[in-house]
Every structure is written in structure tokens, then in C-alpha cells.
Amino acid sequence: MINIEFGILILLLIMLVLVISIFGFVIRKLLGVERKKWFSYHHLNERHRKLDWSLRLITILFLISSYYMIDNNKIEIPWYFKTSFIIIVFLIASELLRAFMEWKYAENKRDFVATIAEMMFIIGIVFLTITTDFFGLLNI
């Protein structure tokens, strides 16, 4: 029984990634914007690189703090130290930083519109998926 649920979860996650990828492709095509590579460190300039790595370092420090708070069973963990919250805030902050830098420094000024549209779509899909228990297909 648990293997079937795990298989369904994997299939749903693959479908979500596919839907998000298709949306990103379509929005970038409509706006005439170059496609971004997944998991790339495409920094627009040195300032963007420094700010991005500073944000990553702060996130790592929060994750390490979170780990030590979880390891200590005597205290209750505040909501802002939960691992999922830290990762979600990092992803949103990272994309907002990218959008700001694209708005400020990119050659094609529509880059930031595509970045913000993709981020909002991803947030909406993830929120909808979690609040509906994967659209009622899975009781997590």
C-alpha cells in the first residue's frame, strides 16, 4: 500500500515539474525572453553574484540553526526556523533578487516580467497542491 502511494506521489511531482516547465517555456516565448537553465548560477554582474551568495550563506546559517534547534528536544521550534519555511523564503528571495537585477541590469527588460510570472505561478501551484492534498488524490 505504501509503495503505491509513493509511486503516485512521484508521478504527481513529475507532473507538477512538467506543468511548471511548460508554463515557463510559454511565458518566455510570449515575452520573447531567453530561456534560463535550471539550477544555474546565471548572475547578471558581480553585484548580483555577491548578493546571491550572501543570501545563500544566510540561508545556510538559518538551516544550521534550525538543525540544532530540532536536535534540542527541550525547546519548541519557532515557525520561522522550520526547514520548509526557510527553504521557501530562500527560493522567493532568490527569485525576487534575480527579478530586481534583471529589471535593473538586463539587456532585455522583459526578463524580470517572466521571472516574476514564473515565481507567482510556482507559488500558486505549490500552495494549491498542498492545500488540496495533491488535488484530493493523496491524503498526506
pLDDT at residue 28 greater than cutoff 60: yes
pLDDT, tens digit (0-9, with 9 covering 90-100), for 41-98: 788 899 999 999 999 999 999 888 887 776 666 667 777 778 888 888 998 999 999 9
Report the chain's mean pLDDT, rounded to a whole number. Answer: 85
pTM of this structure: 0.79
pLDDT at residue 140 greater than cutoff 80: no
CA distance 86 to 110: 29
Using pLDDT thresholds of 50, 70 and 90, give the confidence band for residue 36.
confident
| pLDDT at position 139 | 64
Percent helix, strand, coil in the chain, to 5, is: 75, 0, 25
